[in-house]
Amino acid sequence: MIDPFAQIVIPPEVAQLPKADIHIHAERSPRLDRILAKRDSREPYDWVAWAKNLMQDYPAGAERLERISPVFEHILDADQDPENFIARNLDILEEATKDGAILTEVRYGRDLADVPNCLDLLQEAERRVQNNYPDFRMGVIPFIFLSWDKTKLDRIIPMYIDWAQAGLIYGADVFTIPYAEEADWTEAYHIADKLASAGLGITVHVAEVSPANLESALKTPGLTRLGHATHAGYHPHLTEKIAKSGVTIECSLSCNVILGASQSYETHPIRTFVSAGIPVALCTDDPVQMSTTIGREYAIVHQLGFSIPELLDCTKNAIQVAFIDDKQRRHLLKIHNDYVANFT
């Protein structure tokens, strides 16, 4: 069995593959801690120890999930400094490009909703990465929590629609609660419909801690992707519904194993999804807290038996449903196709 905390050697044939990560959160306080630690020549927070304790102390599923992210809130004041803001985002993008990523779509919650000028800072981070990796593209996905108060939702939805019309964003993640039990999706559909009408693609987190909400999620206006959907893989009728819908699943295996959506890498339903004809993408979700990278995720899936052409399909699947403009998509597909042509 693959240990979720194992040092995985990335074989050269996997290291050189063009990769895409379309489900990664900004993890702003863990990233901030990492860049501040480097600057202060100290060790960053020990996320491996933290995650091991999480797995020991809490049952799989929702109880583990609710303990991620808030760990490091006390250092968030440092995020007010634009250079720190850029640096923590640069950290995400540089980590990905080092592993061969040509596309990284980062999800932002409060930091995007409450710091509207942050798009300029994110573009600056992307520009700096492109100095070394000119082919690399970054996508920005607003993460909309339905638990936010109505005033905030009424402020940010029109703002995101304006950004869509200005060609600054191309998709959004609508997060409905409750997550583990069946939710009322009326408001989520309403918001998704507004965003989709403005041209945005929609993704949702679903079936990560239970099979609840999967069928409702598939009815979301504008839906092209599902985050996780892991539990759908344990129920053939749900797998079939996803296959029929044509949506892509964003699979984050290490996150699923550590939070308990899957008991192990070996029993993860990614192969079930592929066998059912569902396009899958490989993603990292919360790579700092899960101590992984996109290259490591590709290497793990390779160890599980996915061939190099199958890994290349994952990259292509991600590019095809990425929330980017058509010109960027053609550019990335060309890089992918050129690689495949040279490989075969």
Site of interaction with Zn ion (CB under 5 A): 285
Angle at 102 (CA atoms; ends 99, 107), nearest 5 degrees: 90
Closer residue to Zn ion, CB minimum distance, 91 or 285? 285
Phi, psi dihedral angles at 63 (to 5 degrees) = -65, -35
H or E element that contains 342: helix 326-343
| 284 closest CA partner among 314, 316, 252, 321 | 252
Cα–Cα distance between 280 and 284 in angstroms, integer? 13
Alpha-carbon span 324 to 332, nearest angstrom: 10
Please, are residues 87 and 77 in contact by the beta-carbon 8 Å criterion?
no
Cβ 295 to Zn ion, closest distance in Å?
Answer: 19
Question: Rounded CA gap, 172 and 188, in Å?
Answer: 12
Please, what is the end-to-end C-alpha distance for the chain in angstroms?
A: 31
CB of 9 to Zn ion, least distance (A): 27
Q: Which is nearer to Zn ion, 35 or 251 (CB)?
A: 251
Least distance to Zn ion from the beta carbon of 209, Å?
A: 12
- In this structure, which amino acid lies at residue 56? Q
Q: Which two tokens stand for residue 219?
A: 């009815």
| Of 27 and 99, CB closest to Zn ion | 27
Shortest-Cβ-distance residue relative to Zn ion: 285
Nearer to Zn ion (CB atom), residue 8 or residue 255:
255
Task: Choose between 84 and 108: whose C-beta lies nearer to Zn ion.
Answer: 108
Choose between 161 and 257: whose C-beta lies nearer to Zn ion. Answer: 257
| Least distance between Zn ion and beta carbon 242 (Å) | 17
Is residue 272 within 8 Å of residue 242, measured between CB atoms?
A: no
User: What's the min distance (Å) between Cβ of 205 and Zn ion?
Assistant: 5
Least distance CB 252 / Zn ion (angstroms): 7
Dihedral pair phi/psi, residue 248, rounded to 5°:
-95, 140
* CB of 268 vs Zn ion, minimal distance in Å: 16
Sign of the CA dihedral with 97 first, then 98, 100, and 104 last: negative
> Which residue, 136 or 175, has its beta carbon nearer to Zn ion?
175
What tokens appear for 22 in the block? 């379309």
